A and B are shown apart, each in its own frame.
Chain A
Amino acid sequence: MTCEVAPPHGADHTLIEERIRLVKDYCDAINITDNVRGIPTMDSGICAHFILKTGAEPIMQMSARDRNRVLYESQLYGAYALGIRNIVFITGDHSLLGTHPQTKTVFDLDSVQAIQLAKHLMGGTDLSGAELEGVPEFFLGATFNPFADPLELQAWRVEKKRDAGAKFFQTQAIYDLERFQIFMTKVRPLNVKVLAGIIPLRSKKMAQFMRTRIPGMRIPDEVVSRLEKAGAGLESKEKKAAICAEGLLIAEETINAVRNIQGVHGVHIMSVGWEESIPGLVEACNLYPRPILR
């Protein structure tokens, strides 16, 4: 069980600790996102350091959008020095979708190549072949989107990421179980560890926003209409509570369903600002308490 927490949109690190405290006992490791859609937030490596200080296990996300190979190498050394061991490499949503569309994107590497780079550093030399003063050792992770096209190429990319060195995968949020099942038939033979992605929905507006503004999301109509029905006939606070409850129920059902899909080894809950939802959701799925690790 992993979950995802967003870094502060500013310099207040106590917010990380606050958010982590809410979820830390309900998962085994915590992803910290990296400037999602190019919207600047506190550095994921620095946040991961604060996560470690709370006693939780961080998973640092690194996107290819904003850094070249030099910065990757430099930040990976630093991350290891800070005690960060889990890294998830992502390509990164295009910054044209965020708040800083005027920026220059980098994409020196793509996510497959970034994993290759990290794996290379673990061999003791940098990309130039120079020996490292201290060799980092990481647990490398990646993502995949079962809903992106073309399906065959997306599955090959999972294979490429595995071959590059990724040991575990977290998926895009799942609402369309049918397509996820089909995708898993392609992923299963690759023998990789898969954590199925979940985002609890808390309003119809959020569902619509994700459909139109977040790349690679597939939210079937019936999910949206379930939220709608749950709130029907109710007003303000009650309406909101009913919709949230339905969103959590959908998430719970999805978690139970993916746990029965062969090749799925865990669940990855992305709170997108609704960290409070995680404890109840994990408990409802009988996944609490978490086993003691180490």
Chain B
Amino acid sequence: MKLKPNADILEMLEGYEKIVLFGDSGCAQLCDVGGILQLEAMEDFLIQNNKKVLGYVFVEGGLCDIHATTLEINDNMNMLREADAFLIQACGVATQVVTDLIPEKESFPAVDSIFLGVMPERFVHHETCVMCGECVLHLTAGICPIARCAKGMLNGPCGGSMDGKCERDGETDCVWQLIYNRLQSLGKLDNIRRIWGIRDRSLSHSPRTIIHEDF
């Protein structure tokens, strides 16, 4: 996730004066977009630009947890009633959760949600999964060819893989080289020797819904 440029945020808040900021201690904080620090910085920025920030709704865990968010909202009802709009410093799911919970007011995204990945060190994020709907990691030594190959190839690598790097930019590792190396060390190269057949892409058609059976 990345905070949107300041100008974009001001543009979407045009005509709205009293704002409440939303953040959480989960992904939003980990990604440095909606932790307390970023909410404070956003408050300063908005005040400089003649807005009023009435306060924060900060959820321990994730704004995607509808129950936790409902509790926080109930605790802050008076402030929320007074607000003109909400600015959500978390992923697109969070903005929609708040939209659903308080439909009479508009919730705006302060963030561009970009990908699902890992954070090997603070401020550094790599994409590692695109939620393709049918995980193949058991065959590819725990390394995802769909999210991490620039062409999402299953019968990789393409002819642009050189010296371990991807043709796309020469800096990103070619994931098929990584898969090859690791399968080799596991003695499981046979996993990728056979042709990987045409994939059922309907599994990744949005919007998707899952209903688990009760247990």
Q: How far is the CB of B193 from the nearest CB of chain A, in Å?
A: 6
Given contacts A94-B150, A172-B159, 11 further A-B contacts (CB under 8 A): A91-B151, A91-B158, A97-B167, A97-B168, A107-B153, A110-B155, A116-B198, A148-B159, A148-B160, A150-B180, A157-B157
- Least Cβ–Cβ distance between A214 and chain B, in angstroms: 9
Rounded to whole angstroms, the CA-CA distance of A64 and B154 in the bound complex is 13
Count how many chain A residues have C-beta atoms less than 8 Å from C-beta atoms of the other chain. Answer: 39
Q: What is B's interface to A at a CB cutoff of 8 Å?
A: 150-164, 167-169, 174, 176-177, 180-181, 192-193, 195-199, 201
Residues of B within 8 A of A85 (CB): none
A selection of 22 A-B contacts at a CB cut-off of 8 Å is: A91-B151, A91-B158, A91-B159, A94-B167, A109-B198, A110-B155, A112-B195, A113-B199, A116-B197, A116-B198, A143-B159, A148-B159, A148-B161, A149-B174, A150-B180, A152-B180, A153-B156, A154-B159, A157-B157, A160-B155, A215-B160, A216-B160
User: Which B residues lie within 8 Å of A160 (CB)?
Assistant: 155, 195
On whether A216 and B159 interact (CB within 8 A), knowing A91-B151, A96-B168, the answer reads yes
Cα A145 to Cα B160 in complex, Å, equals 8
A253 within 8 A of B: no
> Does A270 sit at the interface, judged by CB under 8 A?
no
- The residue that A107 contacts in the complex, of B151, B157, B160, B197, with Cβ under 8 A, is B151
A144:B151 contact, CB within 8 angstroms = no
**Residues on the A chain within 8 Å of B167, using CB:** 93-94, 97, 215-216
- Which single member of A65, A145, A148, A149 contacts B151 (CB below 8 Å)? A65
Once bound together, how far apart are the Cα atoms of A109 and B167, in whole Å? 19
Contacts of B168 in A (CB 8 A): 94, 96-97
Q: How far is the CB of B33 from chain A (nearest CB, A)?
A: 24
A108 to B196, CA, bound (A): 13
Residue in A116, A148, A154 whose Cβ sees the most chain B Cβ within 10 Å: A148
Given A149-B177, A215-B160: A108 touches B201 (CB 8 Å cut-off): yes
Within 8 Å CB of A116, what residues of B?
Answer: 195, 197-198
| Chain A residues positioned under 8 Å from B163 (CB to CB) | 149
> A97–B170 Cα gap in the complex (Å)?
11
Question: What residue in chain A is nearest B153 (Cβ atoms)?
Answer: A110
- Distance of A69 from chain B, by nearest CB (Å): 7
How many Å from the CB of A208 to the closest CB on chain B? 14
Chain B CB within 8 A of A274 CB: no
Query: Within the complex, which residue of A92, A93, A113 is in contact with B155, where a contact is CB–CB below 8 Å?
Result: A113
- Nearest CB on A from B26, distance (A): 30
Q: How far is the CA of A42 from the CA of B177 in the complex (A)?
A: 34
